[in-house]
A and B are shown apart, each in its own frame.
Chain A
Amino acid sequence: MSTTAPALTSRQLTRRRRRAAWARGWREFRGNRAGMVGLVILVLFVAIALAAPLLADQSGLEVTKATGGVLEPPSSSYWLGTDDNGRSVLTLLIWGSRISLFVGLMATLISMLIGTVVGLTSGYFGGFSGGALFRLTEWFLAIPFLPLAIVLATVLGRSLLNIVIVIGVTSWPGTALLIRAQVLSIKERTYLERSRALGAGHRHLIRRHVLPNVIPLVFANTTLCVAVAILSETTLSFLGLGDPTRVSWGSMLDDAYSVGAITTGSWWFFVPPGVCVVLVVLSFTLVGQALEAVLNPRLRER
Chain B
Amino acid sequence: MSVVVADPAAVAAEAGSNRRRWSGYGRYAGGKVLGALGSLVFMLVVNFFLFRVLPGDPARTLGRGRLSTPEQLEEFRRTYGLDQPLGEQFVTFLKNIVHGDLGYSILYHQNVSEILVDRLWPTLLLVGSSTILAAVFGIWIGIRAGWDRGSRFDRFSTGTSLTLYSMPEWWLGLLLIAAFAVGIGPLPGIFPTGGLHSVDADPGTVGYVLDTAWHLTLPVITLTLAYLADYALIMRGSLVDEHGSDYLTTARAKGLRDIKVRNRHGVPNALLPTTTVVALNFGFVVAGAITIETIFSIPGLGLLTTEALAVPDYWLLQGIFLLSSAGVILANLAANLLYGFLDPRVRT
Contacts A143-B43, A144-B286, A239-B306 given; indicate if A270 touches B166 (C-beta within 8 A).
no
Q: Is the CB of B165 within 8 A of A285?
A: yes
Q: Is B127's beta carbon under 8 Å from chain A?
A: no
* CB of A282 within 8 Å of the partner chain: yes
CB distance from B55 to the nearest CB of A (A): 5
**Contact between A148 and B43, CB atoms less than 8 A apart:** no
Taking the closest CB of chain A, its distance from the CB of B184, in whole angstroms, is 7
Provided the pairs A143-B43, A238-B168, A274-B168 are in contact, do residues A302 and B309 lie with their beta carbons within 8 angstroms? no
B237 within 8 A of A: yes
Asked whether, in the complex, the Cβ of B237 is within 8 Å of the Cβ of A302, the reply is yes
Q: How far is the CB of A295 from chain B (nearest CB, A)?
A: 17
Q: Size band of the A side of the interface?
A: 35 or more
Q: A265: CB under 8 A from chain B?
A: yes
Distance in Å from the Cβ of B297 to the closest Cβ of chain A? 12
**B170 x A238 contact (CB < 8 A):** yes
Q: Give complex CA distance A154, B51 in Å.
A: 10
Count how many chain B residues have C-beta atoms less than 8 Å from C-beta atoms of the other chain: 52
Q: Which of A173-181, A200-208, A227-235 contacts B (4 or more CB under 8 A)?
A: A227-235
Report how far A47 CA is from B199 CA in the complex, Å. 51
Instruction: List residues of A (114-149) whose CB comes within 8 Å of B's CBs.
Output: 135-136, 138-139, 142-148
Q: Does A164 interact with chain B (Cβ within 8 Å)?
A: no
Contact of B175 among A234, A263, A271 (CB under 8 A): A271
Q: Are B178 and A265 in contact (CB under 8 A)?
A: yes
Residues facing A in B129-174 (CB within 8 A) are 149, 162-163, 165-168, 170-171, 174
Give A residues with C-beta under 8 Å from B.
Answer: 135-136, 138-139, 142-148, 150-152, 154-156, 227, 231, 234-235, 238-241, 253, 257, 262-263, 265, 267, 270-271, 274, 277-278, 281-282, 285-286, 301-302
Q: Which residues does B use to contact A, with CB under 8 Å?
A: 35, 38-39, 42-43, 46, 50-51, 54-55, 149, 162-163, 165-168, 170-171, 174-175, 177-178, 182, 184, 193, 237, 240, 243, 283-284, 286-287, 290-291, 294-295, 305-306, 309-310, 312, 317-318, 320-321, 324-325, 327-329, 332
